[in-house]
Amino acid sequence: MKKIKESAFWKSPAKVSIILFVILELITLYLQPNTLTLSWVSLKSEAALTLMFAAIGETFVLLVGGIDLSIAGVISIVSSFAAVYMKDNPVSILLVCIVSLAIGLGVGLFNGFIIQKLKVQPFIVTFCTWYICGGIAYLVLPKDGGEPAESFINALTYRFGGKISIALIIIIVCLLLWTWFRKTRLGITLYAVGNNAHAASLNGINVMKVNLFAYAVSGLFAAMCGLYRVAVTATGSPTAGESFFNQAIGAVVIGGTFLTGGVGGQYGTIIGVLVYKMINDLLVFLGASSYWSTLFQGMLLIIAVLLSTISEIVRERKEMTE
């Protein structure tokens, strides 16, 4: 039984991120003892959730072998729109949230349709929609500002009993939903398309529908990222999403999802996001410049990609010899 468990762990695409997470957590506990409390976990959940939304959505697209740069534009336009038009009453908050999610969904469906129907490369399509959304964001809000509804901010930053944050609950719900979704027919076909779209099509899988779903979900989560960012920063920005694309891709890859598709998942992505945040927190604690954070994150991404690639090659060779 022990050998089976060990084998399952070492075959897991998320093993690199898990090992890094454990190492970083041990370092954190050494430098900052007694920090592993419910309040501390809630605080870190709030800090990580914005990037987590973006990374979760990106994971769906990478699993089908695509890429979505437009999340940066969606985050920016939603951030600007919500900060300008959200008034402090339930109807306004609800309408702005619905429109924001519709924007993300619409952009995602547009990306998926153009990519699948016109056979244009995902990088080109999503790069264009990124800039289109970014331009609209500047028209809505030329510079950082706006006054999002105070009740909206309070709702998303509320803590039950003063300890359990909304962010922590959302992360747990996302994990539970992924556990369920992974076993559904759609979840299985997502991996099938990522592994080999042509073979999946020959087996009766509607590849276009699966891709539309992946890009639509990516757009929805990007919109949620924009809304949550407005809540935690209490302001909007036409450049809100510019830093999220690189970080989201980095977190997803560190979490074990392959850029080629078909391998990975949300468990690893969430751990990858936490690894990113822990590196940044440790550097801040040590008084290092923010430039060091970017440097370490870049190095970590390269190492994660190399280790994942090497482990995949080793795994394939073992399967061939068995």
pTM score of the predicted model: 0.91
- Residue 72, domain member (yes or no): yes
- List the beta bridge partners of residue 164: 160
- Residue 304, domain member (yes or no): no
C-beta separation of 14 from 267 below 8 A: yes
Per-residue confidence (pLDDT) for residue 315, from 0 to 100: 63
Q: To the nearest 5 percent, what fractions of the chain are helix, strand and coil?
A: 75, 0, 20
- Residue 289, domain member (yes or no): no
**Tokens read off for 222:** 């990007």
Per-residue confidence (pLDDT) for residue 4, from 0 to 100: 47
Per-residue confidence (pLDDT) for residue 10, from 0 to 100: 65
- Residue 141, domain member (yes or no): yes
**Tokens read off for 168:** 């922590």
Per-residue confidence (pLDDT) for residue 67, from 0 to 100: 94
Residues 112-124 have pLDDT tens digits of: 999 999 999 999 9
Residues of the chain with pLDDT under 50: 1, 4-5
Per-residue confidence (pLDDT) for residue 116, from 0 to 100: 93
Domain count across the chain: 1
Angle at 284 between CA 51 and CA 143, to 5 degrees: 55
DSSP state, residue 259: T
- Residue 22, domain member (yes or no): no
- Residue 136, domain member (yes or no): yes
- Residue 233, domain member (yes or no): yes
Give the structural domain span for 211: 38-241
- Residue 134, domain member (yes or no): yes
C-beta separation of 226 from 49 below 8 A: no
